[in-house]
Copies of this chain bind each other. A is one copy, B any other.
Amino acid sequence: MTLTQLRYLIAIADSGLNITLAAERVHATQPGLSKQLKQLEEELGFSLFTRRGKSLEAITAAGAQVIERARIIQSEAANIRALAANLRNEAQGELRIATTHTQARYALPSAIAGLRKRYPEVGVHLQPGGDAEILDLLERGQTDLAVVSTAGTPPPAGLALPVYRWDRIALVPRGHALTKIGRAPTLADLSAHALVSYESSLKPESSLRRAFDEAGLPLRLAFTARDADLIRTYVGAGLGVGVLAEMALDESDRDVVGLDLDGLLPSCTTWIVLRRDRVLREYALEFIARFAPHIDRRDVRRAFDHGIATDDWPVPPRWRDLDLARLAA
């Protein structure tokens, strides 16, 4: 058993059992992988895969167990290399950030721009998805850090650092009835209209849905998307009243106007979520320091080593109080 064999094994599993594809991904030849796989199976004394003819058909139960452990080994080997790269002050590398569209579009650009200024050789890869997918990516170790938002408690997995708080606003076409009532809309006001909001509102545990349920009001969703820009567009097209993150408000928009909801819905917190068992490259800490400047870098280190309870983190600033220009500097 060698690290190479385990790497090949994982590549094969992650390439849908296509050895040729896996070989390309690890920059090796297909016969090489075939042979190493065979040797590994021989050493272990059982088949990692079932075969139909010559092709791999499925992962055996035992194979799945082995792959699981192999991933841990690979991840720890990567940790050692990351450790080494940090000590050498390597300025090259990659940063994979799994996040939602709203964060990627409105919150992250300045911090990422700042990061790239300090580390021009670091490639940043955004991995968009829904909250569950994002945390799943983190869980499976396929991303370096996740940026997600919750309306209440922090996400259960990993080490969560609070970044900023934000509220939702209502978005209506200019001249819409709701702009004329002279006060912030109530849930009853909203309930009178079809709503346009995030895909996540479809889930029964969404905070929007819960607010309506608790008020005993019906929630009609005319349109949902993950993408705040789409929501804005469709509000402009008159599909209904938008409910979306304040970050997505564009003051210069001629067609639509945002309305404060004044505490109608619970505030949200955006978190950076990390895996405690993963060594971060220096530039990842740099990103965190820029995106969440109110958190002391040493506290992050300490949280990694000893585990800080979530309550011990400082209350994060509100979105509207953030100095985005400073993050990018």
Contact = CB atoms under 8 A, between A and B. Distances in A.
Nearest to A84: B44
Interface stretch (A61-69, A131-139, A176-184, A314-322): A61-69
Contact of A46 (B3, B62, B72, B87): B87
A3 B69 CA distance: 14
Given A62-B87, A72-B72, A83-B66, A77 B45 contact: no
Contact of A1 (B44, B46, B62, B77): B77
A211 interface: no
B73 A76 contact: yes
Contact of A79 (B2, B69, B76): B69
A188 interface: no
Contact of A83 (B2, B62, B80, B88): B62
A46 to B, nearest CB: 5
Contacts of A81: 1, 44
Contacts of A66: 80, 83-84
A70 interface: yes
Contacts of A87: 44-46, 62
A54 B215 CA distance: 76
B88 A80 contact: no
A45 B81 CA distance: 10
7 contacts: A1-B77, A1-B80, A43-B84, A69-B76, A69-B79, A72-B76, A73-B76
